[in-house]
Amino acid sequence: MELRHLRYFVAVAEEGSLTLAAEKRLHTAQPSLSRQIHDLEHELGVALLIRGPRGIELTAAGRVFLDHARVALLQVEAAAEAARRAAHPARNSFSIGFLTGYELDWLPAVMEILREELASTEVVIHSQDSPELATDLVRGRIDIAFLRPEKQAPGLKFQLLRKDPLMVLMPRNHALASRATIRPRDLAGETFIGVSAVRAPTLRTLIEDYARQNGLPLKAEHQAENIAMAVSLVASTGGVCLLPAYAQNLLPKTVVGRPLQGAAPSIDLVIGYRDANTSPVLKYLVSKVDELKSRVTKGGKEGGKA
């Protein structure tokens, strides 16, 4: 088994199509890709994919193999990145990643805590989706990140920062906007904006679980790839979307957020970092997590009084 077999299989599984994987991801001919997948299945002795009229579906064996293949590829990339860093003098820099939107709350507090520690250090800020942040942490491209507790992230440690309740986003002129809270059943029949299973898997699972527990047939008529797209779709379609409460920081005047009535589901925000990272700046910041949370909580309360 070669690394290319793993890359080809992951591409086909994520695209759900041999044609799309060949053209968009791998830039190879479809017959060649089909042969590579067939060779992989022959070597493993199990079927990984079911080829049907609706595209590619994973077998039970394929779903298990996909998780391990992703981890294996990440570990290979991390090893290559570590070798490159060892071959070149390290730059005096510290990289911080944020799940897009959270930097508004957390970056000022981080910079206050690190003011003296970073006197001669270049700070690099990244704003990405949570799975991308986890991947870059594993690869050693980011020192610390504010993200979701991603599962497929070998070698990472997570510390909980807070739990963000979900809220309902809707146009300001929507019929539900006049209500102080939104009942689960109020969402039935509304145009629903879903989130990407690839770019926001933790949030997608939380929303699906909430809908199932409340007997809501929330079938997404549109799917948002990121928070900006979600807000845009809400404004343009007149639909509703479930997002963490921090999204209120990013709303235009035409879109409003309302809390869910009762016990709203919440999603974890954590800091993540590589256990093998020996950066003294990282060690210092991790030791100040309680102070960091206190600063952000205090800042939020003061902001609410203004």
Query: What is the set of domains in the chain, with CATH numbers?
Result: 3-83 (1.10.10.10), 91-161+268-305 (3.40.190.10), 163-267 (3.40.190.290)
pLDDT at 90: 53
Beta bridge partners of 267: 164
Q: Do residues 101 and 246 touch, judged by C-beta distance below 8 A?
A: yes
C-alpha 139/C-alpha 142 separation (Å) is 8
pLDDT at 306: 30
Tell me the three state secondary structure of residue 59: coil
Poorest-pLDDT segment among 129-133, 185-189, 207-211, 247-251? 247-251
Distances (CA, A) of 228 to 225, 247, 255: 8, 9, 12
What's at 142, amino acid-wise?
A: I
Beta bridge partners of 266: 165
Average pLDDT over residues 11-21: 78
pLDDT at 33: 75
69-83, 164-178, 274-288, range with greatest mean pLDDT: 164-178
Average pLDDT over residues 29-55: 79
Average pLDDT over residues 21-30: 76
Say if pTM beats, i.e. exceeds, 0.75: no
Tokens found for residue 143: 């020192």
pLDDT at 305: 38
Alpha-helix runs per DSSP H in 52-99: 60-87
* pLDDT tens-digit map of 258-292: 999 998 999 999 999 999 999 999 999 999 999 99
Higher-scoring residue by pLDDT: 290, 123: 290
Query: Is the confidence at residue 301, as pLDDT, over 70?
Result: no
Q: What is the mean pLDDT of the chain?
A: 86
Picking from 291, 290, 271, the residue whose alpha carbon sits closest to that of residue 282 is 271
C-alpha 50/C-alpha 59 separation (Å) is 7
Query: Is the confidence at residue 304, as pLDDT, over 50?
Result: no
The DSSP H or E segment spanning 179 is none
The DSSP H or E segment spanning 292 is helix 289-305
Tell me the three state secondary structure of residue 194: strand
Cα-Cα-Cα-Cα dihedral sign, residues 74, 79, 81, 82: positive
Query: Is the confidence at residue 42, as pLDDT, over 90?
Result: no
Estimate to the nearest angstrom the gap between the alpha carbon of 69 and the chain centroid: 19
pLDDT confidence tier of residue 110, bands split at 50, 70 and 90: very high
pLDDT confidence tier of residue 148, bands split at 50, 70 and 90: very high
| Paired sense of beta strands 192-195 and 240-244, if any | parallel
Q: Do residues 130 and 226 touch, judged by C-beta distance below 8 A?
A: no
* Helix and strand counts by DSSP (H, E) for the chain: 10, 11
